């Protein structure tokens, strides 16, 4: 199963065995079987790009590899990496950019390894030093249009990192207004303005953290 965010609509590509088709669909969701024609995928992509009516669009197929390949063929693929940094006071490093709270990340450079890219981008965007990668978190996917109006699918590799509490320096030239340490529980309770894929990362971290404590 692959989760892709198009604006704030969640589009899911799934194997047929992973989907239970309800007798009556929720009006805020779409569940559809892929018949093998890429044009139908474009219709759903257009729908997600142009409206926020649907919360989730699920497309399933008995051949998930073909479905994924056909979907990706409609985009330019860009790979990126980033991190969720937790300091020695159990606070998380968050940035504020273009009106949204976010996590530091960026495009991978040519021949750069995923972990190298994640460390470099986090340090460049926040000024944090002496970072250590603890483990891999999840991989997220979201789409956007580039300056040439072409569709781009960004695949971002996320890592859990640690560092000592320190002064942060936001990378202003990248549109970052603030880089701060925050208590995640308090932060999430305040219902911040964040993208759904970033919320997925924070939720995943909280779940694995809770599982480790039990």
Give yes or no: residues 84 and 63 share one domain.
no
Which tens digit of pLDDT belongs to each residue from 126-177? 999 999 999 999 999 999 999 999 999 999 999 999 999 999 999 999 999 9
Give yes or no: residues 112 and 205 share one domain.
yes
Give yes or no: residues 40 and 141 share one domain.
no
Give yes or no: residues 153 and 188 share one domain.
yes
Closest CA to 20 of 29, 8, 10: 29
Measured between alpha carbons, how far is 41 from 25 in angstroms, rounded to an integer?
19
In this prediction, residue 20 carries a pLDDT of 82
Q: Where are the alpha helices (DSSP H) in the chain?
A: 38-50, 64-72, 114-126, 184-189, 196-213
Overall domain count for the chain? 2
CATH number of 167's domain: 3.90.79.10
Run of H or E residues at 132: strand 132-145
Give yes or no: residues 183 and 90 share one domain.
yes
Average pLDDT over residues 8-25: 86
Give yes or no: residues 203 and 120 share one domain.
yes
- Boundary residue ending a domain (11, 37, 72): 72
Give yes or no: residues 29 and 124 share one domain.
no
Which tens digit of pLDDT belongs to each residue from 39-58? 999 999 999 999 888 899 99
Containing structural domain, residue 59: 2-72
In this prediction, residue 145 carries a pLDDT of 94
In this prediction, residue 210 carries a pLDDT of 81
Give yes or no: residues 171 and 155 share one domain.
yes
Measured between alpha carbons, how far is 80 from 189 in angstroms, rounded to an integer?
29
Helix, coil or strand: residue 174: helix
Q: What phi, psi does 166 have (nearest 5°)?
A: -160, 165
């Amino acid at each position: 199963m692959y989760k892709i965010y198009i604006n704030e609509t969640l589009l899911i590509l799934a194997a047929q065995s992973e989907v239970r088709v309800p007798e009556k669909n929720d009006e805020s969701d779409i569940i559809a079987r892929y018949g093998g024609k890429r044009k139908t995928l474009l219709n759903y992509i257009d729908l997600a790009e142009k409206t926020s009516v649907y919360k989730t669009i699920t497309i399933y197929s008995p051949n998930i590899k073909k479905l994924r390949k056909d979907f990706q063929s409609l985009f330019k693929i860009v790979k990126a990496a980033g991190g969720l940094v937790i300091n020695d006071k159990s606070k998380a490093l968050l940035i504020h950019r273009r009106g949204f709270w976010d996590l530091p990340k960026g495009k991978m450079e040519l021949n750069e390894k995923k972990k190298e890219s994640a460390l470099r981008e986090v340090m460049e965007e926040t000024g944090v030093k002496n970072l250590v990668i603890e483990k891999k978190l999840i991989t997220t996917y979201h789409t956007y249009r580039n300056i040439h109006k072409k569709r781009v699918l960004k695949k971002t590799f996320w890592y859990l990192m640690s560092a000592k509490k320190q002064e942060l320096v936001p990378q202003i030239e990248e549109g970052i207004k603030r880089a701060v340490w925050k208590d995640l529980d308090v932060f999430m309770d305040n219902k911040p303005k964040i993208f759904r894929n970033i919320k997925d990362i924070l939720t995943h971290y909280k779940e694995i953290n809770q599982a480790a404590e039990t």
